[in-house]
Amino acid sequence: MRSKKNVWVLSIIILAVICIIGCDSDNDKPNMDFVYPLTVGNSWEYETTFTLDFDSLATYNGLNDTILYHTGSVEIIANEVIFDSLEVYNFASIMNESGNIFTGNRYYNNNDDGLFCYGHTNVSNISPKTNNNYIYIKFNNKIFNNVKDIFNYVEKAKIYNQFSKDDSIYYDLVKTLEYPLEEDNQWIYRSYDIRIDKTIIGWEEIDVPAGGFNCWKIQLTYPESSFNEDVEFYDFVSPEGLVQRLIEFKQLTCIDENGNFIGYLDSTEERYLTDYQIND
């Protein structure tokens, strides 16, 4: 029979091991309290993959699975003043879709509460099309011409029917990140046609072509909408910037020009960092 003394010694050893493991885990956790890197000259390069995965009925009706690739870059080109008093950093973006170039600008700055986007100008869409012009996608009781319009809708909370001219800035205030960055932080990101919340649900080590990064995993949800189960939307953000974005749709309804159901579609957008430059 094991003596009480041996049991007591064994218990102390087990507690010590648990403490050591716990302490090591805390020490291994990276410092994730940072602000987004805003310096003129900072730049990020991305690749984006769109997948269209149709079910058997949609395939029977003439639709084929498709994978589309885009490349793009974002650079902070200036620190300037807009709307007479707002000091911002001008993020210029370029997207290349099979040789077609799309450009846009967004205006950001940090303050004590978070990273804010104050407006945009000349933002262009890249729209992956389905195989036939008569195909439409139904989502949240709205009809869309293509999948990318739905991606824009779940990111921006409204449908953009037209965009600003080159010399116009649209005021569009949103809180992109809330400081300090901490697990379980939740805030309202947008509230136009639909309300979008952001929640920091934890941190992960992410490997992309640009390297390995410790990232906050930020989920976008729609508390006042019924389609949360149909959409998964995550951003992975590190001290170096946005590292990865993942948006997945399940069971999108495909209809023809007469409104007839012709099948379902699963679709994914994945954007990942391929290169970057961060200046001091």
pLDDT tens digits, one per residue of 185-199: 999 999 888 899 999
Sign of CA dihedral 170, 222, 262, 61: positive
Total domains in the fold of the chain: 1
pLDDT in the model for residue 131:
52
Amino acid at 28: D
Residue 16 lies in a domain: no
Distance of CA 43 to the CA centre of its chain: 17
The answer to whether residue 112 is domain-embedded is: yes
Residue 5 belongs to some domain of the structure: no
- Classify residue 14: in a domain, yes or no: no
Residue 151 domain flag: yes
Q: Is the pTM of this model over 0.75?
A: yes
3-state secondary structure of 116: strand
Task: Tell me, yes or no, whether 202 lies in a domain.
Answer: yes
The answer as to whether 136 is a domain residue is yes
| pLDDT recorded at residue 114 | 97
Residue 4 dihedral angles phi and psi, to the nearest 5°: -60, -35
204: Cβ contacts below 8 Å, ≥ 6 apart: 214, 215, 217, 236
Per-residue confidence (pLDDT) for residue 29, from 0 to 100: 72
CATH of the domain at 191: 2.40.360
| pLDDT digit string, tens, across residues 56-87 | 999 999 999 999 999 999 999 999 999 999 99
User: Domain limits at 42?
Assistant: 36-277
| Residues of the chain falling short of pLDDT 70 | 1-28, 122-134, 160-167
* 12 in any annotated domain: no
